[in-house]
Amino acid sequence: MSTLQKTAPPATPPQAGPPRRTRSQALRGTLSALPLLPPLALVVVAFALFAPNFMTGTNLENVLVASSIVVVPGLAMTLCITMGEFDLSIGATVALTGAVTCTYIRDGHSTAVALVAGLVVGLLVGIGNGLVVAKLGVTPFIATLASMVIVRGLARVYTDSRDVIVSDSTLKYLAAGRPLGIPFPVLLAILATLAAMYVAYRTRFGRWVAAVGSNRDAADLSGLPVDRVRIAVYALIGLAGAVWGIIISAQLQKGSGNLGLGFELDAIAVVVIGGTSLLGGRASIIGTVLGALLIGVIHNGLNLLDVPPAYQRISIGLLLVAALAVQAIRRRVPLEVLDDNKN
């Protein structure tokens, strides 16, 4: 009977591999947004050359304000996409919450109460989405699609399909006021970004959101409160949608059931173009902010060039598709894996 030779004794003591620099997740997320800077610069230069009045102080401030308004919902959507899901109903939430706030003001309530009402409605929509998705087990894509339809319908019913015109100074301040010399939306965006970075990278909740997106099965097995995390994220989106709706209504000085059409494309585009992967697990907060800037610049430049909004959507649509094509080609994913079944 032959005996096997024993394996040779270890040749070298255990190797640790090359020493790695300590990197925080925040740094990683920020670095992944760097590829966005060249296109941003390019677009700014192009518009500076070809669009009239692009480089004026007023216009640049407009760009900043417009971008800032998209930042808040973009950040909330970043969390959702990091979790591996997305919410199509945010545009409808914009309409409903704007309508509610304006209606309260028109009916004589104080602005503060009106604002709270709007925020609460947004929160409820978000929680509703979260419950349907987490507890009833409906796929997020369909659930938020249906929610979009319902909420928009609700908005139209609530306003009786008529615009709710208001003229309120506090509301105006939200859109055009300048606390500390900075336009309010910009201030809000800065605060929201700081808060988002904190939540995403330094709280347990933020890490759990990334965990759920990174490996859903492992998250279940590790005992993470996956349902609660999901509901919370959708609630945040609802809240962000409310903020968006209130500010837009403040700008337009009216609430309407037709507000926010197509906004979900902007919200998702901002996140995806900013570098956060649709597959989940990795949040890039700075990326979303840069993405918002890019989209804001594009919208602004095209407006100055008198391009109708429909064409502007084409460009965003194409940009989105292009950004993803580049991502996917670089990853060389085989076709069979690229299904949306997981959604």
Partner 1 sequence: MSDSVLLGIDGLTVEFPGVKALDDVSFSVRPGEVHALVGENGAGKSTLLKVLGGVNTPTRGTVELDGHPYRPSRPRDAQDAGIAVIYQEFTLFPDLTVAENVFVGREPHHRVTRAIDYAAMRAECREIFAQLDVAIDPDARVGDLSVSEQQLVEIAKSLSVDGRVIIMDEPTAALASSEVERLLEVVRRLRTRGRSVIYVSHHLEEVFAVADRATVLRDGRYVATLDIAQTTEDELVRRMVGRDVGSVFHRERIEPGDVVLELDRVRAGRVLKDASLEVRAGEVVGIGGVAGAGQIDLTQAVFGAVPLRGGSMRLGGTAFAPASPAEAVRAGVGFLHEDRKQAGSLPDMSVEHNLTMTVLDRLRGTARLLSGRKQRVVWQTYRERMQIKASGPGQLISNLSGGNQQKVLLGRALAPGGHLLVLNEPTRGVDIGAKSEIHQLVNELTAQGVAVLMVSSDLPELLGMSDRIVVLSQGRVVGRLEGEDATEENVIACATTGRRIGVAA
Partner 2 sequence: MTTRTEGDSRATAPHPATETRSERARLDLGRAWDRWGITACLVVLVVVGALLDHSFLSLANVQSVLTESAYLGIVAAAMTVAIINGTFDLSVGGQLALVSVLSLLGYGIGGTWLAVAAAVLGGLACGGVNGALVTWLRVPPFVATLGMLFVFRGIAYLLTSDAPATLDYSEIDSGYARLGSTLIGSVPLPFIVMCVFFGAVYLFLRRTAAGRRVVAFGSSPEAARFSGVSATRVRFLVFGLLGLAVGIAVLTYITRIWTADGGTQDGFELRVITAAVLGGASLRGGKGSLVGTFSAVLLVTVLNNLLVAHGVSAGAQQMVLGGVLIVALSIDGVRSKYAARLRALFARRRAVPQPG
- Footprint of partner 2 on this chain (CB under 8 A)? 132, 136-139, 141-143, 145-158, 160-161, 217-218, 220-221, 257, 261-262, 265, 268, 272, 278, 308, 310-311, 313-314, 316-318, 320-321, 324-325, 328-329, 333, 335-341, 343
When binding is defined by CB under 8 A, the residue of 17, 38, 181, 308 that contacts partner 1 is 17
Interaction of residue 339 with partner 1, rule CB under 8 A: no
CB nearer to partner 2: pick between 111 and 139: 139
158 or 205: CB nearest partner 2: 158
CB 107 within 8 A of CB 113: no
Do 238 and 122 form a contact (C-beta atoms < 8 A)? yes
DSSP 106-163: HTT--HHHHHHHHHHHHHHHHHHHHHHHHTS---HHHHHHHHHHHHHHHHHHHTTTS-
**Which residues within the stretch 274-303 sit at the binding site for partner 1 (CB under 8 A)?**
280-282
Do the beta carbons of residue 268 and residue 323 sit within 8 Å?
A: no
Measured in whole angstroms, the distance separating CA 164 from the mean position of its chain's CA atoms is 27
Question: Which does residue 150 bind out of partner 2, partner 1, none, counting CB within 5 to 8 angstroms by kind?
Answer: partner 2
- Residue 130 is which amino acid? G
Is residue 266 packed enough to be buried (19+ CB in 10 Å), middle (13-18) or exposed (0-12)?
buried
Residue selected from 106, 109, 207, 313 as contacting partner 1 according to rule CB under 8 A: 207
What DSSP letter does each residue of 288-321 carry, written as one string? HHHHHHHHHHHHHHHHHTT--HHHHHHHHHHHHH
Burial of 60 (0-12, 13-18, 19+ CB in 10 A): middle
Residue 335 touches partner 1, criterion: CB under 8 A: no
Nearer to partner 1, 208 or 244 (CB): 208
Binding-site partner at residue 156 among partner 1, partner 2, none, CB < 5 to 8 Å by type? partner 2
- Name, in order, each residue with C-beta under 8 angstroms of 248's C-beta and a sequence gap of 6 or more: 69, 94, 98, 259, 260
184 binds, among partner 1, partner 2, none (CB under 5 to 8 A by kind): none
Give yes or no for residue 341 binding partner 1 (CB under 8 A).
no
Task: Determine which residue in the list 57, 108, 181, 223 makes contact with partner 1, applying CB under 8 A.
Answer: 223
Tell me which of partner 2, partner 1, none is bound by residue 22, counting a contact when its beta carbon lies within the kind-specific cut-off of 5 to 8 angstroms.
partner 1
> Which residues, at least 6 apart from 60, have a Cβ–Cβ distance to it below 8 Å?
none
53 contact, one of partner 1, partner 2, none, CB 5-8 Å limit per kind:
none
Q: For partner 1, how many residues bind (rule: CB under 8 A)?
A: 43
The residue behind tokens 């190797």 is 15
Residue 195 CB, shortest distance to partner 1, in Å, is 12
Q: How far is the CB of 17 from partner 1 (least distance, A)?
A: 7
- Residue numbers of the site for partner 1 (CB under 8 A)? 1-7, 10-12, 14-17, 19-20, 22-25, 28, 198, 202-205, 207-208, 210-211, 213-215, 217-219, 221-224, 280-282
